[in-house]
Amino acid sequence: MNIKKAVDRIPGGLMLVPLLLGAVVHTFAPKAGVYFGSFTNGLITGTVPILSVWFFCMGATIDLRATGTVLRKSGTIVVTKALVAWLVTLVCTYFIPDEGIKTGLFAGLSILAITAAMDMTNGGLYAAVMQQYGTKEEAGAFVLTSIESGPLISMLILGATGVASFDGRLFIGAVLPFFIGFVLGNLDKQLRELFGSCVVALIPFFGFALGCGIDLAVVFKSGLPGVFLGLAVIVVTGIPLILADKWIGGGNGAAGLAASSTAGAAVANPAIIGEMIPKFKPLVPAATALVATSCLVTAILVPILTAMWARRFGGFRAPQEDLATSTPVIVHH
């Protein structure tokens, strides 16, 4: 059976399929973890420990010895995406209450969901798209997008806009695994390879654990707001990213557009932040479903839009030429 191949055909499938399976378990057998206990319960309720290991491994993948062009491109994407997410969050504080929208077409939409969807680029999607439509340096520019992974940037944005305040020790605790992984990965190339190889393998596990906290009724309710959020991510972050890529990164804008997505890892951020800030905990199921929908929408549309942009403004390479000159990057991030 080609289960992996079938899952890979679905945009963000390595995260979204296990998440959906977990949601099915939670919806139809909400007490399954308690009933089976032991390791089964650990898989169902282990979001935080699994994410901790994944976050550590993500830190180990960042190589500071990357070329200056790669660092400039990558830094431009990360800084622009974070600044846009901060500005959007700041504006939304004037229109959306802390408890989120309760009624109407956009019921379930919250500042927590908007921030999580806006501030993280899907590094694997970006790398794969830019291998075909960009230069080798642009394809490698996903290196620093790992910094966005986990709750770090979301916490900084929510804190800077006054939406939430984080105890210093909790903030350090949230980024310490990532930092330790980063240090070890740069001290020893073999450790970077060892821990980096675990990044993709852990995604289905925390995807399933996240899904085990979601009721499918919430997912269906979040359909329209989730699609809207995904489209907003592409438009609101895409335009500044295109301009930044052209003016700062020295590109033609394709790399910026390719970065205008929601990362699969962003699906985990509402749950992590909800553990640290009690007032956000009731928002976590809806926010998780919204961010997952945004991830799917952007994963489908961003490659199409980037291809159209590359054909219009240059940078397009035929698929057969690309296959002959480069090695495919397979990263689900």
Average pLDDT over residues 2-7: 87
How would residue 142 be classed by pLDDT, with cut points 50, 70 and 90? low
pLDDT of residue 61: 82
Q: Return the amino acid letter for 42.
A: G
Residue 11 has pLDDT above 70, yes or no: no
Tell whether 216 is covered by a domain: yes
pLDDT of residue 213: 78
Tell whether 78 is covered by a domain: yes
Residue 71 has pLDDT above 80, yes or no: no
Tell whether 279 is covered by a domain: yes
Average pLDDT over residues 167-186: 83
Q: Which of 118-122, 131-135, 226-230 has the highest mean pLDDT?
A: 226-230
For the chain, give the percent of residues with pLDDT over 90.
28
Question: How many C-alpha atoms does 47 have within 13 Å on its Cβ side?
Answer: 25
Q: What phi and psi values does residue 199 have, to the nearest 5 degrees?
A: -60, -55
**For 258-302, how does the pLDDT look when each residue is reduced to its tens digit (9 = 90+)?**
999 988 778 888 988 988 888 899 999 889 889 988 888 888 888
Q: Return the amino acid letter for 58.
A: M
d(CA 120, CA 77): 10
Q: Which domain holds residue 104?
A: 3-325
Task: Quote the number of domains for the chain.
Answer: 1
Residue 333 has pLDDT above 60, yes or no: no
For the chain, give the percent of residues with pLDDT over 70.
85
The Cα-based distances of 116 to 228, 233, 263, 320 in angstroms read 14, 10, 9, 36
Specify the length of the chain in residues.
333
Average pLDDT over residues 112-125: 87
pLDDT of residue 332: 41
Average pLDDT over residues 185-204: 90
Choose between 309 and 15: higher pLDDT.
309
**What's the predicted TM-score (pTM) here?**
0.74
DSSP 33: H
How would residue 202 be classed by pLDDT, with cut points 50, 70 and 90? confident
pLDDT of residue 194: 95
Tell whether 331 is covered by a domain: no
CB 289 within 8 A of CB 112: no
pLDDT of residue 238: 96
**For 143-153, how does the pLDDT look when each residue is reduced to its tens digit (9 = 90+)?**
666 666 667 78
Tell whether 215 is covered by a domain: yes
pLDDT of residue 327: 36
Choose between 313 and 218: higher pLDDT.
313
Average pLDDT, the chain: 82
Tell whether 333 is covered by a domain: no
Q: What is the CATH number of the domain that holds 161?
A: 1.20.1530.20
Tell whether 185 is covered by a domain: yes
Q: Packing angle between helix 111-118 and helix 68-92, nearest 10 degrees?
A: 170
pLDDT of residue 77: 87
Tell whether 332 is covered by a domain: no
**For 293-312, how does the pLDDT look when each residue is reduced to its tens digit (9 = 90+)?**
888 888 888 888 988 898 88
pLDDT of residue 76: 87
Q: How far is CA 324 from the centre of its chain?
A: 30
pLDDT of residue 191: 95
pLDDT of residue 121: 86
How would residue 137 be classed by pLDDT, with cut points 50, 70 and 90? low
Reference 61, options 123, 133, 125; nearest CA is 123
